[in-house]
Amino acid sequence: MQVSGLNRIPRGASSVWPKLLDLMLFLAFIGTAAAVARVGAGMFVPFSPPAVMPEPIDLNPWRVPYYVARSTLRMFIALPLSVLFSLIYGYVAAHSKRAERLMIPILDILQSVPVLGFLSVTVTGFIALFRGSLLGLEAASIFAVFTGQAWNLTFAFYQSLRSLPDDLREACRTYQLGRWQTFKRLELPSSVIPLVWNGMMSFGGGWFFVSASESMSVLNSNYTLPGIGSYVTVAIQHKNLQAILYAILAIAVVIILTDQLLWRPLIAWSHRYKMEQQSEADDRPESWLYDMLLASLWVQAATRWIQRRLRSWTEALPKPAFRPVKAPVEDGKVNWVDRSYTAAIAMAAAVLAYAGLHFILAELDLREVMHTAGLALATLSRVIALVLISSLIWVPVGVAMGFRPKLARLGQPMALFLASFPANFLFPFATAIFLKWAIPINIGSALLMAFGTQWYVLFNVIGGAQAIPAELREMARTFGLRHWPLWRALILPGIFRFWVTGALTAAGGAWNASIVAEVVSWGSIKLKADGLGAYIADATEKGDWPRITLGVGMMALVVVMLNRTVWNKLYNVAVNKYSLS
């Protein structure tokens, strides 16, 4: 592979340039480590509620860089944990039919549980685990961000493994590759690109819940961590529009820097794992930082050292890890072990459902349950409207960007910025508009939910359009297909599987976003929509455990039923009927 960054090194400077790069990268590394140590030190201060609490949020604009640095550090701690979780969980679910029958429904449930649902359970536990230190509250906040990142990454990795062509797996078996070698040479490389792109979306989704994870009203207790999310929360309470604008500017700068220093290099690096020949070098994604890293002698030496360590580690693995992967047996028979396993899962689910209902009905009556079901239908209607409207708007745009690389190079950075921007920072302005124009919050909350979740549809459609083979597009032009005949014969079948993934993820994100979008405020003015998200947010703030359990359980039930009856069937149709591979 030809390295584009090395080609731009000036002549006569080839011996000096790598050394200068090493010096610059070393200084940047030292500076970053010092900044992380300085900002991270704030996580270990004493904390013993209610006597010793974190410092109150100061709306002075000079404090904004520190607050945004604290929030960014939490995001970057949660990201590698999310990637590690997705690799382990997705791998096990994709390679074991028995585990899959249990793990994927659990993942559906975890995806549907809102962030406040996790906070209501984990805050007190983490505080008790790290007694006397703010690290407990920090761990609860990081875990909340983790829940906003991990599920999308896990689904992306799992679906990537499940969609690998059978001939590639057969080649691994032919060459007697073990599980680790198959993972290293086939499964992980083929998943790099979807993991990178879904990582960007997951990271942006984490920003959406940063306010909820830093300014917590849980079980009748209020906890506030220093961060840009809590800064915005306090600014909204004080109706300080100028402070909100400072926070928006700071977040915009962080998103741009993160894109240039992390995601652009990762996109350029992931291009080497694309499973097709590139006809034009100009279509390769570019990153100035990635080019610098390629030219650095220090980075090259570190890469060789890591490769040697990995090689020695893999050689030291026990021999069973290198047994050839056996071809799956498809005899159509279900033995007694599978039947017993399925029965055990069903029994455990029934016991948990009974325990939950007993706990709920001990404090609430059936009328409350029916009322919650009605609120779930109200939120469901907003989710359906969001998916339909987002598809109508972004499918044509995504196809255009996928078919035209120049348009994609212009539009993708802007779309990435909008997808990463925490839309709930704009909610105060939306609240003011709703009040001024008399827009009902039951309608406005659907718009607010769409702010942060519609981008899943766009990016998945872009990926689907780019995956349509060029020869098929050329064949369609040869036969004179244009407009609707072209869409019906080629484009819609080609992007259908990717649209299903994007719509499913957008729907899951919308359910989670409902806890923020259905309750908006500006100072003392608070608008509440009729929906399950507002119900859960209100119960969490009051510490009402029966209603928290009822609301979270109802949301999980609706989401799992939809995934099992609608989205799974659509995905099977996409793979079996409209797959272009």
Span 177-213, pLDDT tens digits: 778 888 888 888 888 888 887 888 788 777 877 777 8
Across 241-245, 363-367, 445-449, 569-573, which has the greatest mean pLDDT?
Answer: 241-245
Distances, alpha carbon 82 to alpha carbons 46, 86, 151, 168, 455, in Å:
28, 6, 8, 28, 20
pLDDT in tens, 520-568: 877 777 888 888 888 888 887 777 888 888 888 888 888 888 887 888 8
Are residues 147 and 206 in contact, defined by beta-carbon separation less than 8 angstroms? no
Examine residue 511 and state whether it is found in any structural domain, yes or no.
Answer: yes
Angle, nearest 10°, between helix axes 545-562 and 532-542? 150
Which CATH number goes with the domain that contains 554? 1.10.3720.10
Instruction: Look at 48-57, 142-151, 184-193, 435-444 and tell me which has the smallest mean pLDDT.
Output: 48-57
CA distances from 557 to 139, 363, 545, 560, 562 (A): 28, 20, 18, 5, 9
pLDDT score for 78:
92
CA 563/CA 558 separation, integer angstroms: 9
The contacts of residue 507 (CB under 8 Å, 6+ apart) are 383, 386, 387, 562, 567
287 and 352 assigned to the same domain? no
| pLDDT band with cut points at 50, 70 and 90 for residue 401 | confident
| Residue 489 sits in the same domain as residue 541 | yes
pLDDT tops 50 at residue 518: yes
Q: Are residues 318 and 359 in the same domain?
A: no
Examine the fold and report which residue of 265, 299, 326 is the final residue of a domain before the chain moves on. 326
Cα-based torsion angle of the residue sequence 65, 71, 74, 75 in order, rounded to the nearest 10 degrees = -100
pLDDT at 108: 76
Tally Cβ neighbours within 10 Å of residue 87.
Answer: 18
Is residue 336 included in any domain, yes or no?
no
**Residue range 126-155: mean pLDDT, rounded:** 86
Buried b (16+ CB within 10 A) or exposed e, 236-247: beeebeebbebb
Q: What is the separation, in whole angstroms, between the first and last Cα of the chain?
A: 26
Mean predicted confidence (pLDDT) in 14-27: 75
Give the count of domains, the chain.
2
Structure tokens at 276: 């097709």
- The reply to whether 406 and 303 lie within a common domain is no
pLDDT tens-digit series, residues 218-273: 656 677 889 998 898 888 888 888 998 999 899 989 988 988 899 888 888 887 77
pLDDT at 335: 66
Q: Is residue 418 part of a domain?
A: yes
Judge if 255 and 381 occupy the same domain.
no
Average pLDDT, stretch 67-86? Answer: 93
Instruction: Let me know whether 122 and 221 are in one domain.
Output: yes
What's the mean pLDDT in 415-440? 78
Q: Confidence class of residue 358 from pLDDT cuts 50, 70 and 90? A: confident
pLDDT: is 326 or 463 the higher one? 463
Within this chain, do residues 119 and 206 fall inside the same structural domain, yes or no? yes
Residue 281: predicted pLDDT: 45
Report yes or no on 339 lying in a domain.
no
Residues near 320 by Cβ (< 8 Å), separated by ≥ 6? none
C-alpha span between 69 and 35 (Å, rounded): 9
**Residue 180: inside a domain:** yes
- Give the pLDDT confidence score for residue 85 in this predicted structure: 94
pTM of this structure: 0.80
Residue at 186 is within a domain: yes
- Between 321 and 207, the more confident residue is 207
Same domain, 420 and 551: yes
- Residue 9 clears pLDDT 50, i.e. is over it: no
pLDDT at 217: 65
- Residue 132, classed as helix, strand or coil, is strand
Residues 188 and 292 both lie in one domain: yes
In this prediction, residue 3 carries a pLDDT of 40
Is pLDDT above 60 for 317? no
Query: Which residues span the domain enclosing 91?
Result: 14-326
pLDDT digits (tens, 9 = 90+) for 97-130: 888 888 888 887 777 677 766 776 778 888 888 8
Which are the contacts of 418, defined by CB distance < 8 A and separation ≥ 6? 455
Q: How confident is the model at residue 11 (pLDDT cuts 50, 70, 90)?
A: very low
Assess whether pLDDT exceeds 90 at residue 2: no
Spatial separation of the C-alpha atoms in residues 390 and 458, rounded to whole Å: 8
CA distance 221 to 526: 20
Residue 37's SS3 state is helix
Same-domain check for residues 276 and 353: no
| Cα(433)–Cα(518) distance, integer angstroms | 15
Is 320 a member of any domain?
yes
In the chain, % of residues over pLDDT 70: 87
Confidence of residue 69 (pLDDT cuts 50, 70, 90): very high
Select from 326, 359, 384 the last residue of a domain: 326
* pLDDT for 315: 63
**Is 80 exceeded by the pLDDT of residue 452?**
no
Give the closest residue to 178 by CA, choosing from 310, 293, 317. Answer: 317
Q: How far is CA 113 from CA 329, 514, 518, 551, in A?
A: 36, 11, 16, 9
> Looking at the structure, do residues 195 and 244 belong to the same domain, yes or no?
yes
Q: What is the chain's alpha carbon radius of gyration, rounded to the nearest angstrom?
A: 25
DSSP code of residue 527: E
292-296: long-range contacts, CB 8 A cutoff, minimum separation 24: 292/5, 292/21, 292/24, 292/25, 293/25, 293/265, 294/3, 294/5, 294/6, 295/3, 295/5, 295/6, 295/9, 295/17, 295/18, 295/21, 296/18, 296/21, 296/22, 296/25
pLDDT at 196: 86
pLDDT at position 72 over 90: yes
pLDDT given at position 277: 53
Residue 48 DSSP class: B
pLDDT at position 377, please? 93
The last residue of one of the domains, among 326, 354, 376, is 326
User: CB of 115 within 8 A of CB of 515?
Assistant: yes
458 assigned to some structural domain: yes
More confident site: 4 or 519: 519
What pLDDT does residue 1 have? 37
Q: Are residues 386 and 300 in the same domain?
A: no
Q: Which tokens in the block code for residue 534?
A: 């507002």
Question: What integer pLDDT is reported at residue 340 of this predicted model?
Answer: 74
Please report, as a single letter, which amino acid is at residue 158. Answer: Y
Does position 321 have pLDDT exceeding 70, yes or no?
A: no
More reliable by pLDDT, 434 or 2:
434
